[in-house]
């Protein structure tokens, strides 16, 4: 940029694009709208850990956020609008910043949690009082929560009719390309507004640094998300309907953290999968199954929009009287992957190492905690919130309530997963368990999901002593099941 053009740009009033759940350049309606004004763009991220009711991120999500912001900062700088980071209550920072730099408008992507919406509404009102434009966009969902309703106008409570209604709307709008050019807003950010650097946010673990497995597993950022999607279409979507339930196979998309942080748009994912099916690069049934999984994400977010306390209150009030049992020793064993049930322990160790767990194993581990240990589902939801890199407020809460039987369209409480049978069905050779529970890796497939049933000679051959090399079971399955059903009877008529 020449000095003359820079001076001309400096004379133009800027606009602000406030980035938070759409950490990408492509298919970002808020960013595109800011660019289309032709005015200088100030791109900001506000790390808000001070607004009332906004849930702080868990440790794994904080790790991901650091690297996602680093990638976004590089991409924005290359596009011409370096990312500026601030820290503090967004309700104060955003309006004050807009006023102090003379911005004519602020653009952002919508959020759907109750506390987040309250913050955004207050900001929109403050900007309106200042005569500054406030423009929000849907960059996170296929359809707004108020757009997909029953015939009576109520929100859906059952997934299948919701999915049918969503499909009847047709494909979402096509994704937008990256803005061709962003013009930098040459403004000084007042220190009083909480200017920060990425490192000063202290998002990364240091003492100890437990993120080695996360670094081995993931590449946060828009390019990492695109690579994941391409790999899905080329290598994993063919056979997805059958393979997605097999933790021993590489059969899932692993897109969830990228979608959660908005590193790739849901509209782009949808259209690329639909196009791959139309071009017969993948079977139609596999594409449809994957799209239905995107729809479950959508359904969960619609539930959260209409039920902001989804992570803390039973969707079905009768579960308020459920006789949960508090046993810290057992919960700790579950968290550490030392329950004595190999498929459960494998999942919990995968979670700790990678910040992610295979979806089928999530259901098995959650059912074990809730049903066999009679632990309140909110205990598990909180642990996943802290340890998952894809700890989405909607998906996490809705899925835990689904397993508990207390949620919308939930599995019946008396549906109790048997971890031994589930392991044998979905990890038939024991490869998944061997990877994450190496102490029992030498057991043959016939015994790896129930080592306590192995003859002494088999245990000796595997150099395995239960209680020493691998924990004894913390609960008997039959006793746990009986206890769960008895507990459910106390609220059955409620």
Q: Which residues are catalytic?
A: 293, 296, 324, 359, 377, 400
Taking the C-alpha atoms of residue 490 and residue 494, their distance in angstroms, rounded to an integer, is: 8
Taking the C-alpha atoms of residue 81 and residue 45, their distance in angstroms, rounded to an integer, is: 12
Specify the residue for token string 């492509």: 26
- Cα 417 to Cα 280, 334, 344, 478, distances in angstroms: 36, 16, 11, 12
Taking the C-alpha atoms of residue 152 and residue 154, their distance in angstroms, rounded to an integer, is: 6
Chain mean position to CA 355? 11
For the beta carbon of residue 170, count every other beta carbon within 10 angstroms: 7
As given in the structure block, the two tokens for residue 74 are 């590089």
Q: Residue by residue, what is the 3-state secondary structure of 251-314?
A: CCCCCHHHHHCCCCCHHHHHHHHHHHHHCCCCCHHHHHHHHHHHHHHHHHHHHHHHCCCCCCCC
Q: Quick one: which H or E segment has residue 47?
A: strand 41-47
> Is 476 in contact with 452 (CB distance < 8 Å)?
no
Cα–Cα nearest to 178, from 72, 260, 67: 72
Instruction: Sort 204 into a burial class: Cβ within 10 Å, 0-12 / 13-18 / 19+.
Output: middle
Instruction: Provide the strand spans (E) within 48-132.
Output: 83-87, 105-109
As given in the structure block, the two tokens for residue 161 are 């009719």
Taking the C-alpha atoms of residue 390 and residue 358, their distance in angstroms, rounded to an integer, is: 12
Ordered DSSP codes for 149-202: --TTSPPP-SHHHHHHHHHHT-SPPPPPPPPS---B---PPPGGG-EE-TGGG-
> Is 264 in contact with 223 (CB distance < 8 Å)?
no
């Amino acid at each position: 940029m020449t000095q003359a053009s820079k001076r001309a740009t400096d004379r133009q009033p800027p606009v602000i694009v406030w980035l938070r759940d759409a950490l990408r350049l492509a298919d970002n309606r808020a960013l595109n709208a800011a660019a289309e004004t032709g005015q200088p763009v100030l791109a900001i991220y506000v790390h808000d850990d001070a607004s009332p009711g906004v849930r702080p991120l868990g440790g794994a999500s904080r790790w991901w956020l650091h690297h996602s912001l680093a990638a976004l900062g590089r991409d924005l700088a290359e596009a011409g609008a370096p990312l500026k980071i601030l820290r503090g209550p967004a309700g104060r920072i955003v309006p004050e910043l807009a006023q102090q730099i003379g911005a004519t408008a602020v653009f952002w992507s919508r959020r759907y949690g109750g506390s987040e919406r309250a913050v955004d509404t207050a900001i929109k009102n403050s900007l309106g009082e200042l005569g500054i434009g406030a423009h929000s966009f849907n960059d996170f969902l296929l359809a707004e929560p108020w757009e997909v309703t029953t015939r009576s106008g109520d929100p859906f409570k059952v997934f299948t009719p919701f999915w049918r209604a969503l499909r009847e709307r047709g494909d979402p709008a096509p994704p937008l390309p990256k803005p061709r050019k962003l013009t930098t807003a040459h403004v000084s950010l007042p220190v009083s507004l909480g200017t920060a650097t990425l490192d000063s946010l202290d998002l990364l673990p240091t003492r100890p640094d437990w993120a080695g497995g996360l670094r081995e597993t993931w590449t946060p950022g828009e390019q990492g998300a695109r690579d994941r999607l391409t790999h899905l279409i080329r290598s994993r979507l063919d056979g997805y309907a059958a393979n997605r339930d097999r933790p021993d196979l590489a059969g899932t998309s692993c897109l969830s953290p990228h979608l959660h942080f908005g590193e790739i748009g849901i509209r782009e994912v949808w259209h690329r999968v639909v196009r791959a099916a139309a071009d017969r690069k993948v079977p139609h049934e596999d594409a449809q199954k994957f799209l239905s999984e995107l729809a479950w994400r959508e359904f969960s977010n619609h539930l959260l929009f209409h039920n902001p306390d989804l992570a803390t209150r039973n969707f079905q009030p009768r579960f308020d009287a459920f006789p949960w049992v508090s046993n810290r020793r057992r919960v700790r064993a579950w968290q550490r992957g030392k329950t004595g049930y190999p498929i459960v322990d494998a999942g919990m160790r995968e979670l700790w190492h990678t910040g992610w767990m295979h979806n089928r194993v999530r259901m098995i581990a959650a059912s074990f905690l809730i049903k066999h240990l009679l632990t309140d589902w909110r205990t598990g939801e909180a642990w996943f919130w802290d340890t998952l890199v894809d700890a989405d407020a909607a998906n996490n809460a809705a899925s835990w309530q689904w397993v508990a039987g207390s949620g919308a369209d939930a599995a019946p409480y008396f549906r109790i997963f048997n971890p031994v049978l589930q392991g044998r069905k979905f990890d038939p050779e024991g490869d998944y368990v061997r990877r994450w529970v190496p102490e029992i890796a030498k057991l043959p497939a016939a015994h790896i999901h129930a080592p306590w049933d192995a003859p002494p000679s088999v245990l000796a051959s595997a150099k395995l002593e239960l209680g020493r090399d691998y924990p004894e079971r913390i609960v008997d399955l039959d006793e746990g099941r009986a206890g769960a059903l008895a507990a459910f009877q106390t609220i059955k008529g409620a």
